[in-house]
Amino acid sequence: MFRYGILSTASIIDRFIAGIRESQDSYVQAIASRNLETAKKAAKRLNIENYYGSYGELLCANNIDIVYIPTVNSQHYENCKKALKHHKHVIVEKPFALTVLEAKELFTLAKKIIVF
């Protein structure tokens, strides 16, 4: 069973969560926002058991295998990099990086950290 953590309460998450729930081998474990009350409201609305008031808390959680990152475009690179450094697999909205150098860095980091 793959356990997903969602790093935002952006409006696109509803569709992503619907897809995860159709899967027979995945589960939405937690959601995070930069504000605890926002995360709590989203978790309640979406029937997600765990929620965090910071992205860092979710990334440190041992019960998250894959992090979905639907944050604003300018934050994709940093959030992806942080998730990889916490040994999380990552699904990130496009663009996942804003420069070729950022993209190369993320691929290099993923190859070093994530074991397939």
pLDDT of residue 113: 82
Half-sphere exposure of 84 (CA within 13 A, CB side): 20
Percentage of residues in the chain with pLDDT exceeding 70? 97
DSSP helix/strand/coil, 3: strand
Q: Are 69 and 8 in contact (CB under 8 A)?
A: yes
pTM of the model: 0.92
Q: Are 20 and 4 in contact (CB under 8 A)?
A: yes
Span 45-100, pLDDT tens digits: 999 999 999 999 999 999 999 999 999 999 999 999 999 999 999 999 899 999 99
CA distances from 69 to 5, 34, 100 (A): 9, 13, 19
CATH number among 3.40.50.720, 3.30.2290.10, 3.90.1520.10, 3.30.2000.20, domain 1-111:
3.40.50.720
- pLDDT above 70 (res 116): no
